[in-house]
Chain A
Amino acid sequence: MKYRSWILIFLAACYLTLSTISAFRLSRSQPTERISGSAGDVLDDNPVGRLKVFVYELPSKYNKKILQKDPRCLTHMFAAEIYMQRFLLSSPVRTLNPEEADWFYVPVYTTCDLTPNGLPLPFKSPRMMRSAIQLIASNWPYWNRTEGADHFFVVPHDFGACFHYQEEKAIGRGILPLLQRATLVQTFGQRNHVCLKEGSITVPPYAPPQKMQSHLIPGKTPRSIFVYFRGLFYDVGNDPEGGYYARGARAAVWENFKDNPLFDISTEHPTTYYEDMQRAIFCLCPLGWAPWSPRLVEAVIFGCIPVIIADDIVLPFADAIPWEDIGVFVDEKDVPYLDTILTSIPPEVILRKQRLLANPSMKQAMLFPQPAQPGDAFHQVLNGLARKLPHDRSVYLRPGEKLLNWTAGPVADLKPW
C-alpha cells in the first residue's frame, strides 16, 4: 500500500515536468490553430490509396516539345500544368493499368505559347486541346466510355477553359464544349461565371517555392506596415482611360489612399518585396484582368493577412480551407472605405487570422514544391479528386449514347492542330 502512494507521487511528478517542458517549448514557437474547412480537417489527408490515376502517353508535341521551345513556362505563374504531370508520373497514385484507374489525366500544355514578354497566348489552345482529345478518343476507349467525365485537365490560364485573356471574349466563347463533362483544375474561380463549371477544383497559381523560402526574415521582426501592395493601378497599355482594368477597383485604391501613411502602395518593383510583405499586417490582393493573383499565395506564405478585393471570387481549395476566417473580403463597392473596414477589425480577430496563417499545413497547401511534399497543392488536388469518388452511375454512358457535340464552338477552333 505504501508503494502505491509513492508510485502515484512519482507519476504525478513526471507528468508535471513533462507538461512544463512541453509548455516551454510551445511558448517559443508561433502558436497555430487547426484549419477545418467545410470538408473537415482535410488539409492533412493523404490521398495515396484513396484513388488511382492513369496518365495518358501523349506524343511529345503536346508537352515536352512545347516546353523545349520555351523553358520560361517552368517559372511563370501558369507552370502548375507542367509540374502536375511531373508529379503524377512519379507518384504512388499513378497506375499503369487503365482498367483500375478512377481518374484519367491528359498532359497537354495549353498555356505554354508565350509572347516575348512572357504572357501566354490562348489562340491555339482550343485547337490543341481538341486535337489531344481526339487522339485519346481514337486510341483508348476510356474517353468514349464516359465522354470525359472521369478525366481531368489542368487549365491554369486566366479564365480557365474559356481560353481567352479578355473577359468578354472568354464569356462569349464559354468553356470548350468538349470539356463539358470533364473535371477542370484551374486557377480561375468566380461564382456564377460561365468559365467556372460545377465540380471544378480551384488551385493557387504557381509561385516558386525556393525563391520565397530564400527571402524569409526572422519572425521577431515587428510588423510595422499596416497595408502593403505593389503592382499596377492603371494599365495604360490596354486600358488608357481606366475603369476597365480590375473593374476600376485598383484605381479606386490608388485614388483614395495614395496619400495615406498607413497604406504602403506603389507601382515599384523593389528587391525587398518579399521581406516587406513579412513586415506588413495586411496585403492587398485585388483583382486584375482576372480575379485571381499570385499575391494570395505570397501573402499566405509570409503570414500577411490577404485583403481580397474581387467580387464573387472562388479561392483555391475553397472546400478545404476556410478563407472567410483567414482573409478579409472587401466588396469592390466598399473600396473607398477600406481604411475604415480594416481598422474596425478587432485585434483578437487579427491575431486569430495570423495564427491560422502560421499553420504550416496552410502554407504547404499553397505551394507546388519539387519534389512533392505531403500536404502540398498536388496532394490537395488529389484529395479533391478523391472526395468526388465514387463516380456516379450516370457517368458511364450507355453504348451508342452521345452527349458531346464535337462540332460545337467557333469555326476557327475546328481546324486541326
Chain B
Amino acid sequence: MKLLSAFRSSYLNRRGTAFRSLDPSSFDGGFIPPKPSSSPSSIFWLLIHCLCCLISLILGFRFSHLVLFFLFSTSVTNLYTTTNGGVSHHLLQLKPNVTEKSSRVVVGRHGIRIRPWPHPNPIEVMKAHQLLQRVQEEQKSLYYGASSRSPRTVIAVTPTYVRTFQALHLTGVMHSLMLAPYDVVWIVVEAGGKTEETASLIGRSRLIKKTIHVGFEKKMPNTWEDRRRMESEMRVEGLRIVREEKLDGVVVFADDSNMHSMELFDEIQNVRWFGALSVGILAHSGNADELSSALKTTDREGMPMPIQGPSCDSSGKLVGWHVFNTQPYATKSEVYVGDKADVMMMPSKMEWSGFVLNSRLLWKESVDDKPIWVKDVNSLLDGGNEGIVDGPLSLVKDPSMVEPLGSCGRSVLLWWLRVEARADSKFPPGWIIKSPLDITVPSKSTPWRDPSKLPVKNNQPAMEKRSGKPRGPESNNSKGKQEPKAFDGIKSSATR
C-alpha cells in the first residue's frame, strides 16, 4: 500500500498543475485525500481523480498519462503544441489566489515547439556566412593592424621545370595562392623554355589575377648544386620581370616544392622593405631506418627539424640568423636528383623563400624613401647574375636591418621539403592517358549489373547474377527474407 501511495504521490507531483487543489506540502508524509466540500466542481474533480487512479492502476502509468494528456489539451492540431494554456485555466478556477502577480511564465509541463520544417534554410545559412566573414574581417583588422585596410598585391615568383612531380608541387602552390585573400600576380619562370604542360597547369588557376609565364633558355642540370644555382638565376629573372612590369606589391619567392600557410600571406603584408621569415626544414630520407638513426644523432645536438630564419633577442631586435647546418649530413647528402634512398636532400644555407621584399626596391625610377641599407638592386639586375645568386642576403648591405616577420621568427609560416623523383622517371605528359590501358580486370564489387552479363530471359535476373560472379557463401543472405527482385544485386553485394 505504501508503494501504491508513493506511486500516486509521484504521479500527482508530475501532474501538479492540474491537481493543485491538493495540499502540496503534504508529500513528505503520505497521501492525504482532499477534504470533501459541497461545491460541485470539487466533487467532480474528486471523481475524475479516482477515475484516473483506477485507470493508472489498470493500464499502467504511461498510458493513462497519455490519455489524460489528450483529454486536457485544448488545441489538437499539432501533437507538440503547448497545453499549458488549457491547464492553467483550470488552475485559476480552482485557486484564484495562488499568485497575484501576473507572470507569463507558467510552471509545469510545456510542449516542445517544432516548426513545420525543422531543417536549415539556405538563405539563413548564406546570411550567417556573411556575418561570419564580417566578424573575421574585423578581427583581422584588429590584429593585423592597418595593413588589412589597404591590402597589397602578392607577387609570387616561382621557378619550375617539367618533371614527374611538377604537377604535385605546382598544384600545391597554385591552390595556396588561389586561397590567399589578396590580389596575386604569379610569375612562373620555366627552365628549358615554355611548355604546354606547364601552361595548362597554370591555366587552371582561374582565381589568380594575373599569371606571367616566362621561359628560361637553359635546361635544368642534374646535380642538386647546379639546380640550386639555376633556380636562383630564374628567380632573378623573375625579379627583372617585376621591374619591367612595374608591379606594385610584396614579392614572395614561392618555390613550387614548398608548403605555404595562409598566415604567411597575412604576415607579409606588414613588410616595409625587406623582411625575413622562418622556414621549417623537413629534410628527410627515403629510408625509415636511416631516418630514425639520423634523428637520434641530431637529438643530441639540437632540433631534428631545423628552422631557418631570423633570430631575435628578448627586445625584438634582429641579432642573427638560424642557418641550416649541413655538417651532420655531409656524408649523406644527395648529389644527383633522385639518388639512392638512404641519402637526404638538403636545402641551401639560406633559402630564398624565407625572404620577402617590397617590389618598389626593384623599380628603375628612384623611389624617394628607399632605405640605404639595401643595395641598388636595379643596377645589380642590370649587371648579370653573379652578385645575386649567392643568396638573398646579397641584396642588402646591412643584414641587421632586415625586418623579422612572424612574431620575430617565432612562428613558422612555410615549410621546405624537396621530394623529387629520379631524373629519368617517366610519366604521361600532362597526366592524361590517351591510349586505352593494356590490361582490364573486371571489378568484383560493382553494385550495378554488368551489361555483358544481362540474361536472355527477363524473369530470373537474380539467379544469373549470383552464378556469374565468384562470391563467398550466400546461404545467410537468402534466409527467408523477402526482397524485391530488382534490388537483389545491390543487396547481395552490400552484405559482403
Residues of chain A whose beta carbon lies under 8 Å from any beta carbon of chain B: 27-31, 167-169, 171-173, 190-194, 219-220, 222-224, 226, 241-244, 247-248, 251-252, 255-257, 259-262, 281, 311-312, 332-333, 335-337, 339-340, 342-345, 347, 350-351, 354, 410, 412
- A190 proximity list for chain B (CB < 8 A): 105
Once A and B bind, how many residue pairs between them come within 8 Å at the CB atom?
132
* A-B pairs with lowest CB-CB distance, top 8: A220-B143, A336-B115, A192-B103, A343-B127, A248-B110, A192-B101, A347-B134, A222-B136
Q: Is the CB of A256 within 8 A of B128?
A: no
A400-B108 Cα distance, complex, nearest whole Å? 43
Q: Is B300 an interface residue (CB 8 A)?
A: no
Q: Is the CB of A242 within 8 A of B112?
A: yes
- B136 proximity list for chain A (CB < 8 A): 222-224
Query: 7 interchain pairs (CB within 8 A)?
Result: A27-B145, A255-B118, A259-B119, A259-B120, A262-B120, A281-B131, A312-B104
- A222 proximity list for chain B (CB < 8 A): 136, 139-140
Query: With contacts A171-B99, A340-B124 known, what are 19 further pairs, Cβ within 8 A?
Result: A28-B145, A169-B24, A193-B103, A219-B139, A219-B143, A220-B144, A222-B140, A223-B139, A248-B109, A248-B111, A251-B112, A255-B114, A260-B120, A261-B120, A261-B125, A262-B124, A336-B114, A343-B131, A354-B138
The distance from the CB of B149 to the nearest CB of chain A, in whole angstroms, is: 10
Q: Is the CB of A336 within 8 A of B124?
A: no
Q: A30-B142, A192-B103 are in contact. Are A244 and B135 (CB under 8 A)?
A: no
- B16 proximity list for chain A (CB < 8 A): 168
Q: A223-B135, A350-B131 are in contact. Are A336 and B104 (CB under 8 A)?
A: no
Q: A192-B101, A248-B110, A311-B104 are in contact. Are A262 and B139 (CB under 8 A)?
A: no
- B113 proximity list for chain A (CB < 8 A): 248, 252, 256, 333, 335-336
Q: Is B288 an interface residue (CB 8 A)?
A: no
Q: Is the CB of B139 within 8 A of A220?
A: yes
In the complex, what residue of chain A is closest to B149 when comparing beta carbons? Answer: A27
A48-B121 Cα distance, complex, nearest whole Å? 54
- B114 proximity list for chain A (CB < 8 A): 252, 255-256, 336
In the complex, what residue of chain A is closest to B136 when comparing beta carbons? Answer: A222
A255-B102 Cα distance, complex, nearest whole Å? 30
Q: Is the CB of B103 within 8 A of A252?
A: no
Contact pick for A354, options B14, B135, B143, B146, CB 8 Å: B135
In the complex, what residue of chain B is closest to A334 when comparing beta carbons? Answer: B113
Q: Is the CB of B120 within 8 A of A226?
A: no
A193-B113 Cα distance, complex, nearest whole Å? 24
Q: Is the CB of B109 within 8 A of A243?
A: yes
A339-B124 Cα distance, complex, nearest whole Å? 7
The distance from the CB of A354 to the nearest CB of chain B, in whole angstroms, is: 7
Q: Is B196 an interface residue (CB 8 A)?
A: no
Q: Is the CB of A168 within 8 A of B142?
A: no
The distance from the CB of A126 to the nearest CB of chain B, in whole angstroms, is: 13
In the complex, what residue of chain B is closest to A194 when comparing beta carbons? Answer: B99
Q: Is the CB of A243 within 8 A of B111?
A: yes
- B76 proximity list for chain A (CB < 8 A): none
A interface footprint on B136-165 (CB within 8 Å = 1, 0 otherwise)? 101110111110000000000000000000
Q: Is B132 an interface residue (CB 8 A)?
A: yes
Most B CB within 10 A of own CB, among A224, A262, A345, A410: A262
In the complex, what residue of chain B is closest to A191 when comparing beta carbons? Answer: B103
Most A CB within 10 A of own CB, among B24, B125, B131, B145: B131
Q: A167-B107, A243-B109 are in contact. Are A281 and B135 (CB under 8 A)?
A: yes
The distance from the CB of B330 to the nearest CB of chain A, in whole angstroms, is: 40
A243-B84 Cα distance, complex, nearest whole Å? 11
Q: Is B28 an interface residue (CB 8 A)?
A: yes
Q: Is the CB of B107 within 8 A of A226?
A: no
Most A CB within 10 A of own CB, among B105, B132, B146: B105
Contact pick for A244, options B104, B109, B142, CB 8 Å: B109
- A354 proximity list for chain B (CB < 8 A): 135, 138
Q: Is the CB of B25 within 8 A of A410?
A: yes
A409-B143 Cα distance, complex, nearest whole Å? 59
The distance from the CB of B67 to the nearest CB of chain A, in whole angstroms, is: 14
In the complex, what residue of chain B is closest to A287 when comparing beta carbons? Answer: B105
The distance from the CB of A56 to the nearest CB of chain B, in whole angstroms, is: 31
Q: Is the CB of B146 within 8 A of A27?
A: yes
Q: Is the CB of A243 within 8 A of B135?
A: no
- A311 proximity list for chain B (CB < 8 A): 104-105
A interface footprint on B54-83 (CB within 8 Å = 1, 0 otherwise)? 000000000001000000000000000010
A222-B262 Cα distance, complex, nearest whole Å? 12
Q: Is the CB of A224 within 8 A of B128?
A: no
Q: Is the CB of A347 within 8 A of B115?
A: no
Q: Is the CB of B128 within 8 A of A342?
A: yes
A259-B138 Cα distance, complex, nearest whole Å? 29
- B115 proximity list for chain A (CB < 8 A): 256, 336-337
Q: Is the CB of B104 within 8 A of A226?
A: no
Contact pick for A247, options B110, B130, B134, CB 8 Å: B110
- A251 proximity list for chain B (CB < 8 A): 112
